[in-house]
Amino acid sequence: MDVLELARNVVTTEIEALESMAKRLDADFCKAIEIIHGVRGRVVVVGMGKSGIIGRKIAATMASTGTPSFFVHPGEAFHGDLGMIRPSDVALMISNSGETEELIRLLPFMKYQKNPVIAMTGKRDSTLARYADVVLDVSVEREACNNNLAPTSSTTATLVMGDALAVVLSTLKGFQPEDFARFHPGGSLGRKLLTTVADVMHSGDLPVCEVGAGFKDVLHTITRGRLGLAIVMDGAVLQGVITDGDIRRAFEGSETPLDLTASEIMTKQPLTTIASERFGVAEEKMREAKVNSLIVLDEQNTLMGVLQIFDLGDQKVSS
């Protein structure tokens, strides 16, 4: 048995299912977007078994990207959870067969409340599909399971269709990284998006030296600051920065490195950021330039501090 070949067949089968589904996307998808985008209420996702697991993920993705949504278990719905569904909500009902008993039993209630129903199913002629206002076709030619039984390709197709809905809706709403961060304040991504440079930069007694400072003074400044650099100033004006790399280059490029001044050692026009910038943006700037630090200025180009790429992990301001 070739284990890797079997695994590749699973992946290939599911990719082919997704490619086929992408080609089938049509006006029904646009109508589903129009319905969800236009309702005053929330998206109520309903599914049973594996479809329910996928439904929970779809509801969570929608909720975190600007489309109010929650999951209702169809079995629990008949024991009080129907009260969670308002007439202003739209129902996204998931059933590959379109005949799942627990979902079919909910249809009269949806009709009574006049909730729009979007069916996500693999059977366009099923009971669920015939009742629904819109049908999203998630049918697959075969499951990736070796017996063509276990929900594999079909659940992947359903999940991706849900992602397509969530992302298109998010784009239409103009959902921004700041909005995403508000819904994810506890995670590292949320911290990066909500945290500004001013929140984590090193400030206070900064390692500053003047342009005419001698080699020993520069070394003393770097050692005292414990940031691996010295900021070179001409009065209140930033002139450059000296890092350990600049020191090494000075020794390699000069026969008398100890006679050099800060202005002769420094890297001119160092990379900077402003204190009000999001840390995530500043971090990306550091990664692209392959540097570990940025000099922080305010809007008037006044020196404010130093930002280092690992500062977010500490989540504290050094002073």
How much is the pLDDT for 319? 34
Domain 3-175 indexed as CATH 1.10.3720.10: no
How much is the pLDDT for 189? 61
Tens digit of each residue's pLDDT (9 = 90 or more) over 60-84: 999 988 899 999 999 998 887 888 9
DSSP secondary structure of 93-139: EE-SSS--HHHHTTHHHHHHHT--EEEEES-TTSHHHHH-SEEEE--
- Element at 145 (helix H, strand E): none
How much is the pLDDT for 310? 77
CATH number of 197-314: 3.10.580.10
Question: Quick one: DSSP state of residue 267?
Answer: E
CA distance 140 to 220: 69
Tens digit of each residue's pLDDT (9 = 90 or more) over 227-251: 999 999 999 999 999 998 899 998 8
Instruction: Give the Å distances, CA to CA, from 71 to 62, 92, 116, 184, 308.
Output: 11, 9, 16, 19, 42
What six digits make up the tokens of 57? 């993920």
What six digits make up the tokens of 206? 């900064």
How much is the pLDDT for 113? 95
Which residues make beta-bridge pairs with 43?
69, 90
Using 50, 70 and 90 to split pLDDT, how confident is the model at 164? Answer: very high
Question: Quick one: DSSP state of residue 187?
Answer: S
How much is the pLDDT for 78? 82
Q: What is the largest CA-CA distance in the chain?
A: 90
Q: Beta strand pairing status for 229-234 and 237-243?
A: antiparallel
pTM score, whole prediction: 0.67
User: Which residue intervals of the chain bear CATH 3.10.580.10?
Assistant: 197-314
Residue 287 neighbours by CB under 8 Å, 6+ apart = 309
Q: How many CB atoms lie within 10 A of CB 255?
A: 6
Average pLDDT, the chain: 90
* Residue 286 and residue 294 in contact, taking contact as beta carbons nearer than 8 Å: yes
* Residue 106 and residue 47 in contact, taking contact as beta carbons nearer than 8 Å: no
How much is the pLDDT for 188? 58
CA distance 299 to 308: 20
Residue 259 neighbours by CB under 8 Å, 6+ apart = 215
How much is the pLDDT for 124? 93
**From the CA atom positions of the chain, what is the Rg in Å?**
29
H-only helix segments in the chain: 3-24, 27-38, 50-64, 74-77, 101-104, 107-113, 127-131, 153-172, 177-183, 188-194, 197-200, 215-225, 244-253, 262-265, 279-289, 311-314
* Residue 90 and residue 116 in contact, taking contact as beta carbons nearer than 8 Å: yes
Percentage of residues of the chain with pLDDT beyond 90:
70
How much is the pLDDT for 191? 62
Tens digit of each residue's pLDDT (9 = 90 or more) over 85-98: 999 999 999 999 99
Instruction: Check whether 290 has a pLDDT greater than 60.
Output: yes
Using 50, 70 and 90 to split pLDDT, how confident is the model at 253? Answer: confident
Percentage of residues of the chain with pLDDT beyond 70:
92
Which of 188 and 257 is assigned the larger pLDDT? 257
User: Which residue intervals of the chain bear CATH 3.40.50.10490?
Assistant: 3-175
Look at the chain and count its residues: 319
Q: Which of 12-16, 159-163, 189-193 has the lowest mean pLDDT?
A: 189-193
Q: How far apart are the first and last CA of the chain?
A: 62
Instruction: Check whether 193 has a pLDDT greater than 80.
Output: no
How much is the pLDDT for 316? 43
How much is the pLDDT for 315? 45
